[in-house]
Chains A and B, each alone.
Chain A
Amino acid sequence: EVQLVQSGAEVKKPGESLKISCYASGYSFPTYWLGWVRQMPGKGLEWMGFIYPSDSDTRYSPSFQGQVIISADKSINTAYLQWTSLKATDTAMYYCARRDRDRHYIDVWGRGTAVTVSP
């Protein structure tokens, strides 16, 4: 079974760093684009960026370029989303999502990681 298992909820303070993870199983991790999607409380979906683990080619939405770092370790089938200095506005649910190789839609979603940033 294809699965994306995300790390657990986080509560952090402004200015702190954070790295959340997404472990993939049941498919060839290096050969599928894997992305991150933000959903702020009560708001819509925002595409942040995605990575091709085979060569670490990474594409960011202009809105998130320079704000987060997306990475992957293909030796352990895991992708990451990282912040160096969190803000209160980073409070959101973050989904990792696999893009189907041929049809290019997101066919597998993680359950989401809730991040709360509060003083």
Chain B
Amino acid sequence: SHELAQPPSVSVFLGQTARITCSGDALSTQYAYWYQQRPGQAPVAVIFKNNERPSGIPERFSGADSGSTATLIINGVQAEDEADYYCQSPDATGTYRVFGGGTKLTVL
């Protein structure tokens, strides 16, 4: 079955760079998507197709991919970036989608 692994938590100082990884076999052939979820709110997409930003998402958000690992990069982290982040991708056949377990980003 298709699974995506994320670290449960990442901590970063205000203004520094945060990197959140997502690993899974399907990522070697499928795109990764990243969503931000603040408490009590619906998720919001911050990256699609590995490294593209939806309109309205700040430029400090970017994505990278290498083999079976995708990475969400947040440059110059702001206090409002503290949230849960989820990666998502299709399975290898593109039939269904899976979310990673989520990473709680803490801004120190």
State which of A45, A61, A105 has its C-beta within 8 Å of the C-beta of B45: A105
State which of B48, B52, B54, B99 has its C-beta within 8 Å of the C-beta of A44: B99
Query: B1: CB under 8 A from chain A?
Result: yes
Question: Which B residues form the contact surface with A (CB < 8 A)?
Answer: 1, 31, 33, 35, 37, 42-45, 48-49, 52, 54, 84, 86, 88, 95-102
State which of B42, B49, B54 has its C-beta within 8 Å of the C-beta of A109: B42
Residue of B nearest to A100 (CB): B48
CA distance A59 to B97 in the complex (A): 9
Interchain CB contact under 8 A, B42 and A49:
no
Interchain CB contact under 8 A, A106 and B86:
no
CA distance A106 to B36 in the complex (A): 12
6 contacts between A and B (CB under 8 A): A37-B99, A44-B99, A45-B35, A47-B98, A95-B43, A105-B49
Interchain CB contact under 8 A, A107 and B42:
no
Interchain CB contact under 8 A, A45 and B31:
no
State which of B33, B35, B96, B99 has its C-beta within 8 Å of the C-beta of A59: B96
Interchain CB contact under 8 A, B42 and A47:
no
| Chain A residues whose CB sits within 8 angstroms of the CB of B86 once the complex forms | 44-45
Determine how close the nearest CB of chain A comes to the CB of B92; give it in whole angstroms. 13
Determine how close the nearest CB of chain B comes to the CB of A25; give it in whole angstroms. 17
Interchain CB contact under 8 A, B33 and A47:
no
Interchain CB contact under 8 A, B95 and A59:
yes
| Chain A residues whose CB sits within 8 angstroms of the CB of B48 once the complex forms | 100, 103-105
| Chain A residues whose CB sits within 8 angstroms of the CB of B52 once the complex forms | 103
Interchain CB contact under 8 A, B45 and A106:
yes
Give per-residue flags for A77-106: 1 if the beta carbon is below 8 A from chain B beta carbons, else 0. Answer: 000000000000000000100001001111
CA distance A62 to B45 in the complex (A): 24
| Chain B residues whose CB sits within 8 angstroms of the CB of A37 once the complex forms | 43, 99
Give per-residue flags for A51-80: 1 if the beta carbon is below 8 A from chain B beta carbons, else 0. Answer: 000000001111000000000000000000
State which of A35, A44, A62, A104 has its C-beta within 8 Å of the C-beta of B31: A104
